[in-house]
Amino acid sequence: MSISVAMNNTTSVQKDAIRKAIKSLLKQIDVPYNVTPYDQNLHDICCQRAVEQGYPMGSDRSELSLLPFIPSGVIMSATAYTHIESEATRVFIALYTAFLVYVDDVYERDNSAVRVFIERFVRGEKQMEPVLDGLARFLPEIADHYEPVVANIILTATLNLINASTLEFQTQGMKASLAAKGYPKFTRQMSGSSETYALMAFPRHIPMQNYIQCLPEAVMYIGYGNDVLSFYKEEVAGETVNYISVLARSQGVSNMQAFQQLADEVAKSDASVCQIVETDPEALDAWVKFKDGYVRFHTSFDRYRLDELFD
């Protein structure tokens, strides 16, 4: 029986278990369930900026366009990064996210253009299609918003995500080895650009030395947090290549057991980050605002279907 069929047969039981687990997690990390209204002003600014830069923004569904993915970036920037004072940086975060969601969604079934992106990017060659060409021109702007070490980590994390898209595409149907305990975590860390979103949480004026040690734990909060808050919509869709499914197969446990395991890790990682940055009140405040906003990104975005759990 497929996962989607099983889900349909046990919807109320599954929904209740997932709801309880998420409620418990939010209580542990001291984050309320809130929804943020869509920021139309930020949307308009992002669209204007994209047009000025020559990124494809056509509304015809037959065209490759960044336009349908702008809302993803707007919601991310308007929830998790409202504490960042620079409007230019918030617009950058929104467009960055839009590009990444584009790569994730558009090339899920045909990976040919993404597969050669890094090679062409390194050589300064034109990409195979116009949105990816826009992304290649966009990435150097990272250095305009972040200090060199932080900017370099963001760039390498982004390239890892693009490469992970190809890796995931080429390993579809690969049999999971129970001995490969570290492989799911390896691929998950590559595919989320979590280092990027963690580093973006701290305003540029905060010394890097005051927060850089929390990066591994912040990465876990972001990556596993996304897995936990995406779990419901992925189970309904019957997805089998997401991290929780891969983790469950590699450990020989159920998806629900793997889901709870990650929820526990999210709570632990948040506690660790708070402890690491507590010596700098500004860094701690930035993290607290980010972790709250990151949850609101998921609760405010209908992509994750959390309103079906908390209606």
**Topology (CATH) of 3-308:** Farnesyl Diphosphate Synthase (1.10.600)
CA distances from 220 to 19, 60, 227, 258 (A): 21, 38, 10, 15
**For residue 7, is pLDDT > 70?**
no
- Report domain extents, the chain: 3-308
Burial per residue of 172-183, b for 16 or more beta-carbon CB atoms within 10 angstroms, e otherwise: eeeebeeeeeeb
What pLDDT digit, counting tens, does each position of 147-202 carry? Answer: 999 999 999 999 999 998 888 777 777 887 878 878 877 887 788 899 999 999 99
User: Per the confidence metrics, is the pTM higher than 0.75?
Assistant: yes
Q: Kindly give, in sequence order, each residue whose CB lies less than 8 Å from that of residue 122, ignoring residues fewer than 6 positions away.
A: none
pLDDT on residue 232: 93
**For residue 30, is pLDDT > 60?**
yes
The dihedral built from the CA positions of residue 100, 206, 35 and 50, taken in this order, carries a sign that is negative
pLDDT on residue 169: 79
